[in-house]
Chain A
Amino acid sequence: MFSEELKTLRKLGFRHLLLQTLNFASVLASGLMIYKGLGLITNTESPIVVVLSGSMEPAFHRGDILFLVNPPNARYEIGDITVYKIPGQDIPIVHRILETHDVVKVVNGVREAKPRPENQLILTKGDNNYLDDVELYQGLDWLERKHIVGKVRGFLPYVGYVTIAMNDFPQLKCALLGGLGLLALVQRE
């Protein structure tokens, strides 16, 4: 099966191989650029995330894609669905805000006129869980603004299941990447 492909590869020559590698690399790079550019616009480190757990069912299932925003100077409100990541925790969690507390800080003995969004204390809960998330906060009593990656604005079902499948079956990832790479090298036009 592969003898024919190898023959075409030999016929096309070294320059063509280089060109195709370059093409492949530029496709990868532009994907990364779009992702990072989106991150700049929405002010979050990961503007698109895939749901990994069932704690928000029936709203979000495993493999659904969420689009996040993180408006820098706006406070979060209850009912917002946030994605947060606490230091020491590997996986970001998608849960809904149950309580917000806008703390007024005292700086150098002077009480600030109004609460600032970055001093907000937050409590979250998964729609499908019975209890709130205090047990998940790694010893913290409240979630703080700096732990929050963003809030969910848009929703696309099932599409992200590919990534979950690739994580669950690493062979699939190798096969897919290898296949794509080979195809890119061998294609003639």
Chain B
Amino acid sequence: MHSIYARVNNVSATISTIVMVLLGAMALSSFVFNPHPTGSLEVTSVKVFAGETRRYPHRRQEYAFVTFNITADLSSLFNWNTKQLFVYLEAEYTNAKGVRNEVVFWDRIVRRKEDAVMAVSGKNKYPFRDVSAKFKGSTAANYTLKYNLMPFVGILTYGEAARVMGPIEFPLARERVE
């Protein structure tokens, strides 16, 4: 009853129960907070150029180049269980073959509350290309600023911070920069 095994067993069981209950409470506490992220997104230009694919040396492909301005205040998403925010810009459109596409072309990891007030004017970080290799015949694209809240412990949540009013058409592809 009072052997060393029994004592070690009891102590470790109590500690692990307490830790699990605390972690559970922490995960649940995320639902108490009611964040209200605000922001505005503006796409200043969309250009399409023809280029070569990364994988196949002689295959041609079109690339879209997007510049944008973001002003957003995501600081209300930071509570004591927020490890980081993954903020990303999404373009959503349907191409000529009826394929619905969602593409991330810019992202940023926000780890501190001070950095959550964002003013960014930038261009796409990742190559923005279509599955069919051409943007011709695509519908106009909707641009959205989204975030993924990643907690220290618990459930991952997603949300939208801003969007461009109305879709934006892809221009015709150009062979070279003028």
Q: A58 contacts which chain B residues (CB < 8 A)?
A: 83-84, 109, 111
The winner among A59, A115, A141 for most chain B CB atoms within 10 A is: A59
Contact of A79 (CB < 8 Å), options: B55, B83, B104: B104
The interface on chain A, measured as residues whose beta carbon lies within 8 A of the other chain's beta carbons, has a size of 32
By the criterion CB–CB under 8 Å, are B155 and A153 in contact? Answer: yes
Q: How far is the CA of A81 from the CA of B156 in the complex (A)?
A: 10
Q: Which single member of A78, A104, A142 contacts B103 (CB below 8 Å)?
A: A78
Once A and B bind, how many residue pairs between them come within 8 Å at the CB atom?
79
Chain A 120-156 near chain B by CB (<8 Å), digits 1 or 0: 0100010100001010000001100000000011111
Report the Cα distance A141→B156, complex, angstroms. Answer: 29
Q: Which residue of B lies closest to A96 (CB)?
A: B86
Give min CB distance, A102 to chain B, whole Å.
4
* Chain B min CB distance to A159 (Å): 9
Q: Is there contact, CB below 8 Å, between B100 and A59?
A: no
Q: Which residues of B contact A121 (CB under 8 A)?
A: 131
List residues of A (61-90) whose CB comes within 8 Å of B's CBs. Answer: 77-79, 81
Contacts of A127 in B (CB 8 A): 86, 109
- Given A58-B111, A78-B90, A155 and B99 touching (CB < 8 A)? no
Name the one of A99, A141, A156, A157 contacting B102, with C-beta atoms under 8 angstroms. Answer: A99
Contacts of A183 in B (CB 8 A): 5
| A10 contacts partner chain B, Cβ-Cβ < 8 Å | no
Q: Per-residue CB proximity of B88-126 to A under 8 Å, as 1/0?
A: 101000000111111110000101000000000000001
Binding site for B on A (CB under 8 A): 58-59, 77-79, 81, 96-104, 111, 115, 121, 125, 127, 132, 134, 141-142, 152-157, 183, 187
Give 10 A-B contacts (CB < 8 Å), ordered by A residue.
Answer: A59-B150, A77-B102, A78-B90, A79-B90, A79-B146, A96-B86, A98-B126, A99-B103, A102-B99, A154-B156
